[in-house]
Structure formats: C-alpha cells, structure tokens
Structure 1
C-alpha cells in the first residue's frame, strides 16, 4: 500500500514538474508573464534556455496564451532571449535579443509591448553586434550596439523600432 501511494505521489510530482519546465524562459510584467517557447521539428518543447537548437517554431506567450508564432527552418540557431522589462506609462516593453547563429556574431532585437488589453511584437531591428546597452527617457528606449560598425542605435517608442 505504501509503495503504491509513493508511486502515485511521485508520478503526480513528475507531471507537475514537467508542466512547469516546458517554458524556455519567462519574465514578469505588470500585466502578466511573457514567455518564449521553442519547439523541435517533431513538435516537442525544447527545455534549454537560450541554447543553440534545431528548432522549427517559436511561440511568444502572454500568460500562457500565444501572442505570435514564428516558424524558422534555420538549423542550430539560438533561441531568442528575454532581456529586460521596461515599465512605461501605459505599457511594459520587453526587450528580446535574437542571435542569427552566424559566425559574424550579428543579431537582432525586437520588443514585446504589453498592456492590460494584450501584447504585440514590434518590428525586428537587425544587424546588431555585441552586448546591447540601453537607456530610457520617458517612454522612449534607446538600445545601442557599440561593437557594430557603423554604430547601430535602435530607438523604440509607441510599439515600433526606428
């Protein structure tokens, strides 16, 4: 009886633990949790955070509901990384850093704009190189890539990168 109870409890804990491990990464905002989940070619979630993976699909989620889904056939490309949440007057802006997987070390950024009504992804700002440095003035966020030649500066406001 004790062994059967132990096995049942162990199985239940395994199910609960596996359901919590599925998300590759997440960040909390004032309006809920933003997550990125990558899926392999067989449709199984990839559990490694930011690892180079043979993924086929990325899902961006707000409170476990899909905001946007992207299919990418590139092999060995790092999973996009949630970097930081910037609180703005009417929304939270989540900075997402994506590595292209190329040997040149270039990447791209985008933001997820999160409000009480939901979330949406900004346009992609490509050809970034090195660690991003960011500053904010009001609701305008500047992301600078000093290692890029020429210097690359992305300015984010109102859900769009310029």
Structure 2
C-alpha cells in the first residue's frame, strides 16, 4: 500500500540533494541541515552511494518547463519545510500508467507505462523507478498501484525514449 512506503525511510531528501550540482550542495546544504535535524528527518550519513532522484511524477498536467520546483517535506502540515534551494524545471514528459488487462497482455508488462505516448520496455521502467527515487520496480509499482495520467517533471537533462 502506498501509505506504507510513504511512512518508511526512503532517503527522499538525500536523493534530491544528490541530484543537485556539487557546487550548490557545497554552498547550500549546511544552511538546511539544522532544521532537517530539528524536524527529526532521518538523514543518511553519506549521500555518495545513493542513486539520485532526478525527477518526480505527478498526476495531472499543471507543470511546464521553466516552472520553479520547491522541494518540500511535510507538505500541508505545520512542519512544512523546503529542504533545498528552489531549482528550475528543465522539461516535462507525459506519463500514463495503466493496469488495463488488454494493454498489459499486449505489451507483456504489469502495469503498462507510456511516456510521451509510447509504451516503454522493462529496462526503461526500471530506469524510471530508480531515477524517481524508488529502490526497485516492485516498490514503484506498489506506490503507483492504480491508473494515472500525469507528468514526469525533470530538473536534469535526462529524458526517456
């Protein structure tokens, strides 16, 4: 269930910091660290071995290239905190995740994922899951456990297909 993943340590904060340019991390991280520690955010001792989270997936179609991304934790609570500097959206790709039996049988995957209208293979789904901050495809599918239409919001130059 997605709530179980949301309530377990996922190193979300560290993975996003890991995706930012080294000069920004060197210059900015220490400014955010005291508040993260005060909020009890369980930070990993080292980011170096983590795979970076280089994009995020959101339902709907409200983002566009050039929008500002405000990385936050505890959103919509009294502890809401922007844990890193604001950075720009470098691009958008559409994503559709479907569990429709016909499509899953046709493409040989569960679920079937389309990026910018094209079905993607298992290897791309694996890359997508890891780059979105999940440890593996199983966790990704567990989180996205129903059909969605949305966007991949990029802040690096990585794209799919």
Indicate whether the TM-score tops 0.5. Answer: no
Bigger radius of gyration, 1 or 2? 1
Determine which structure has the larger strand proportion and give its number: 1
TM-score (ref. length: structure 1): 0.22
Determine which structure has the larger helix proportion and give its number: 2
Bigger relative contact order, structure 1 or 2 (CA pairs below 8 A, ≥6 apart): 2
TM-score (ref. length: structure 2): 0.22
